[in-house]
Amino acid sequence: MTLYAEALATFDSLFAQAKAAGIPEPTAMTVATATPGGLPSARMALLKTHDSRGFVFYTHLDGRKGRELQANPNAALLFFWKALGDDGVQVRVEGEVQIVDDAEAEAYFAMRPRASQLGAWASHQSETLDARETFEQRFKDAEREFEGRDVTRPPRWGGFRVLPRAIEFWYGAQYRLHERYLYERGADGVWTKRMLYP
C-alpha cells in the first residue's frame, strides 16, 4: 500500500466511524479559499464524494468561493469530529482544485431533491439580495418554469475536486498530548509521512 493509499484508508476509516457515531452532518467540512492576492475566506460545505482522485463538493461556480477557486485553484478542507477518539479527531486536506467535468456534475445534480435543484436556479450565490421575498419569488418562478419536467442543471452550478498534496490527521488527547501525522506529496510526486509535535 502506498502512503497516499494509506492516508485515504485512514480517512475512510475515520469517516465511517463518524457516520456510525451518529455525528450530525459528518460530511460537513470547512472549505478555505483565497484570492490571488492572498486574502482568505472560509465557509462550511458538504463532502459529496471522495476517492483516489480527490475530495468533491458542489456549489455555484460564480459565488465567492467559486470565483476564488477559479482565480486561485488551491483550497484547504477541514473536518472535525468531536465524538471520535479521546478528545476529537481533525483531518486537514490541502491541494490543487479542478472543476468537476459536466457529466459528473450532471449525474450528481440529477440525484438531488427537486427542491434543491430548483433552489440552484433561484439563487445567485453571494450577490446582493434586496429582500427575502425576491429569493422566494425566484424559487416560485423556477417551479413554474420546470413544472411537469425534470429540472436541468444551471450552467453556473457545478463541482470542485480537491487533489490532495497534503493530508494531516490530528488525534486529540488529554493534557494537549495530541498526535499529528502529516502525509505530503513532494514535487516529484512521491508521498512522505511524518509525525509532528502538537
Active site residues: 176
What CA–CA distance (Å, rounded) separates 138 from 72? 31
Nearest alpha carbon to residue 70 among 109, 102, 98: 98
Contact 60, 45 (CB under 8 A): no
Q: How many CA atoms are closer than 13 Å to the CA of 19, on its beta-carbon side?
A: 8
| Inter-CA distances, 112 with 48, 83, 105, 143, 150, Å | 11, 28, 11, 15, 11
